[in-house]
A = this chain, B = another copy of it.
Amino acid sequence: MRPVVIVDPPRADPEVVAELGALGVATVHEAAGRTGLLGSRLRPVWPGARMAGTAVTVLCWPGDNLMIHVAVEQARPGDVLVITTTSPSGDGFVGELITTALAAREVRGLVTTTGVRDVAAISRARFPVWSQSVSAQGTVKATAGSVNVPVCIAGTMVAPGDAVIADEDGVVVIPRTDAAAVAESGKRRAEREDEARAAFARGELSLDRYGLRAELDRLGVTYVRANPGGTVRANPGGS
């Protein structure tokens, strides 16, 4: 990899990003055809954190946070840092000094596949951070990497300028050029979910609302009354 910093990539429209943020991760992921989730291992450092912004990507060497310092300068108001490493590394790549610098630049938050530290201070400052672990293990600044190149996290590609939405359900990334269409679709989906929630609260069954009884028949699911005194084996299998 030739180390490179891509300067000033195009960003997703901030208004669209805000709309996606209002919808939340689960709805956006569904509206995008069930794509874009950065797996289940990125968790918020403090409960209740949520954010939306445009990606500044950072690719670091394991145990080395040099390129995060480069990325801070590249970040603009409304951005989100998305950090990963060339091989898995759980050290504390980010602490309070870096989040203070990011907050001063009106960066919205930070997502990293590494660990973070100073979590008490970050939580008090209410700076939104999603990480894979918490670790006080320090890093060096000795090896080059890249900023604003596409990276892959948990099966999803993140390009600079993409929309990044994060809340307690995780982190979802929508390609910059798809953001408006996904936001539109997401709003319609949110309305349908509101109606479904109200129906379920009244006692309606999803079997009926989604028309699943016919599907169960097609799949051969049979209903059998329990034999009150009987005993069932763990594997009701058979030929």
Interface residues in chain A, defined as those with a beta carbon under 8 Å from any beta carbon in chain B: 1-10, 24-26, 29-37, 39-40, 43, 48, 50, 61-64, 66, 69-70, 72-73, 84, 86-92, 95-98, 100-101, 103-105, 115, 117-120, 123, 133-138, 140-144, 146, 148-157, 159-160, 167-170, 172, 174-175, 178, 181-182, 184-186, 193, 196-197, 200-207, 210, 212, 215-216, 219-226, 228, 231-239
- Given A35-B1, A205-B101, A239-B31, decide whether A63 and B66 contact each other with a Cβ distance below 8 A: no
Q: Is the CB of B70 within 8 A of A89?
A: no
Contacts of A138 in B (CB 8 A): 26, 29-30, 34
On chain B, the residues within 8 Å of A221 by CB distance are: 3-5, 70, 144
Given contacts A138-B29, A226-B8, contact A88 B86 (CB under 8 A): no
B4 x A236 contact (CB < 8 A): yes
Q: 9 closest A-B pairs (Cβ-Cβ)?
A: A185-B239, A157-B234, A152-B152, A35-B237, A40-B135, A62-B63, A101-B200, A144-B219, A9-B226
Q: Are B66 and A212 in contact (CB under 8 A)?
A: yes
Question: Are A134 and B40 within 8 A (Cβ)?
Answer: yes
Interface CB pairs A-B, < 8 A, 28: A2-B238, A5-B223, A5-B224, A6-B232, A7-B225, A30-B138, A39-B87, A40-B133, A40-B137, A62-B63, A70-B207, A73-B207, A84-B155, A97-B193, A100-B201, A101-B200, A104-B201, A136-B169, A140-B142, A140-B143, A142-B143, A146-B236, A150-B232, A150-B233, A152-B156, A157-B157, A178-B235, A184-B239
